[in-house]
Amino acid sequence: MSSNKKQALLREASHQVIAGGSAGLVEICLMHPLDVVKTRFQLQTGTSDPNSYRSLGHCFRTIFGSEGVYGFYKGILPPILAETPKRAVKFLTFEQYKKALSLTSMSPGLALSVAGLGSGLTEAVVVNPFEVVKVRLQANRDGFKEQPSTFAQARLIIRADGFGLRGLNKGLTATLGRHGVFNMIYFGFYFNVKDAIPASQDPRLEFLRKFAIGLASGTISSCVNIPFDVAKSRIQGPQPVPGEIKYRSCFQSMALVYREEGYLALYKGLVPKIMRLGPGGAVMLLVYEYVSGWLQKNW
């Protein structure tokens, strides 16, 4: 391979990494409070617990009243530490899978969805240890200053259960399902619909067109993948009875939630999830496209 071709490939990959990392950082800083609320709802096993949140508004008021404004940012450091490499991996691998699949006989529309699935599975492997730490921190209802730090929580998990599927990689199958399904629909829907709807010459209308499609793709993806998200939270969060592992694996956890709490329990946390990943999904794609476009023109 010639040096010019190598430089072009490195330049392209660096653009994807920087644009993807920027997209992730902006999204997490704007939307993290809704992720905390979503996780709290998913960890609830029933309404008999006197500490149960009765509604979205009640959850916001309770967290603010007992834990302060910082309570909404519990567990933010793991996603921030993970978000740049996570989103960089998401967009970089999506572009590479898309390029590889363009060489096959697969239809362009299907290739976009398969590339999204591949990027989601790759992203899940990178992000899962950070998710384990984040969920443990978000489950903690103590005041912000009273809970262990991110690194102290990680050390506690490693000391107790190590790095494997009982420790920092707990719930990996559920995370693979969550990210694989989400990215498959997210990228497939966004790029297929964006290509089908004509672009506008007006920059403001073009921004709104892309934002609306991104909002729809993030919302639909969130609705489809949330059972995996609930299972992941139950597996990675504190177990109902200390010392007894109730939620062991992805599909076992889904079946258990369905049997004990009903079908709707598999959609716990859906409203805050949509509130976060609907607009958050649009923000990510827009930041990625605009940063990528700026880098191509200026670097």
Mean pLDDT for the stretch of residues 164-172: 93
Q: In which element (H, E) is residue 107 found? A: none
The ranges assigned to domains in the chain are: 1-298
What pLDDT, on the 0 to 100 scale, is given for residue 206? 94
pLDDT score of 282: 93
> Would you place residue 47 in the very low, low, confident or very high pLDDT band (cuts 50, 70, 90)?
low
Q: What is the pLDDT of residues 87-134, one digit of tens each?
A: 888 899 999 999 999 999 999 999 999 999 999 999 999 889 989 998
Residues 6+ away with beta carbon under 8 Å from 20: 87, 88, 89, 90, 91, 92, 288
Contact 178, 225 (CB under 8 A): yes
| pLDDT value at residue 88 | 85
Contact criterion met (CB below 8 Å) for 121 and 59 = no
pLDDT exceeds 60 at position 233 = yes
Q: How far apart are CA 275 and CA 280, in angstroms?
A: 8
Mean pLDDT of the region 175-190: 97
Q: Flag the least confident range among 71-75, 139-143, 277-281.
A: 139-143
Superfamily of domain 1-298: Mitochondrial carrier domain (1.50.40.10)
Q: Is the pTM of this model over 0.75?
A: yes
Q: What is the 3-state secondary structure (H, E, C) of the chain?
A: CCHHHHHHHHHHHHHHHHHHHHHHHHHHHHHHHHHHHHHHHHHCCCCCCCCCCCCHHHHHHHHHHHHCHHHHHCCCHHHHHHHHHHHHHHHHHHHHHHHHHCCCCCCHHHHHHHHHHHHHHHHHHHHHHHHHHHHHHHHCCCCHHHCCCHHHHHHHHHHHHCCCCCCCCCCHHHHHHHHHHHHHHHHHHHHHHHHHCCCCCCHHHHHHHHHHHHHHHHHHHHHHHHHHHHHHHHHHCCCCCCCCCCCCCHHHHHHHHHHHHCHHHHHCCHHHHHHHHHHHHHHHHHHHHHHHHHHHHHC
pLDDT exceeds cutoff 80 at 79? no
- Is residue 159's pLDDT more than 80? yes
Mean pLDDT of the chain: 90
Token digits of residue 251: 């599909």
Residues 6+ apart with CB under 8 A from 101: 111, 114, 115
Phi/psi of residue 165, nearest 5 degrees: -75, -5
Convert the pLDDT of each residue in 50-76 to its tens digit: 778 888 899 999 999 989 988 898 888
The pLDDT-based confidence of 86 (bands split at 50, 70, 90) is confident
Task: Give the residue, 107 or 3, on which the prediction is more confident.
Answer: 107
Residue 144: predicted pLDDT: 65
Residue 1 pLDDT grade (very low, low, confident, very high; cuts 50, 70, 90): low
**Per-residue pLDDT at 191 exceeds 80:** yes
Lowest mean pLDDT among 185-194, 219-228, 261-270, 275-284: 275-284
Q: What is the pLDDT of residue 76?
A: 85
| pLDDT value, residue 223 | 96
Residue 160 — very low, low, confident or very high, per pLDDT cuts 50/70/90? Answer: very high
Average pLDDT over residues 137-166: 86
Across the range 173-193, mean pLDDT stands at 96
